[in-house]
Amino acid sequence: MSKFSKLYKLIKITRLVRLLKLMKNRGKVVKSVGSSMQLSESFERLAFFVAALFMLSHIFGCIWIFIGRSFTEEGWIVSNNYNDLKPFSMYLTALYFTFTTISTVGYGDISGGDIVEKWYCILILFIGVLSYSFIAGSITSIIINYE
| CATH number of the domain located at residue range(s) 59-147 in this protein | 1.10.287.70
pTM comes to 0.68
d(CA 81, CA 113): 13
- CB of 102 closer than 8 Å to CB of 63: no
- Over residues 42-101, the pLDDT tens digits come to 677 777 777 888 888 899 999 998 888 887 677 888 887 888 888 888 899 999 999 888
In contact, 138 and 53? CB cutoff 8 Å: no
Could you tell me which residues come within 8 angstroms of residue 40 by beta carbon, excluding any fewer than 6 positions away? 142, 145, 146
pLDDT computed for residue 113 by the predictor: 81
Q: Give the residue-averaged pLDDT of 24-51.
A: 66
The whole-chain average pLDDT of the chain stands at: 77
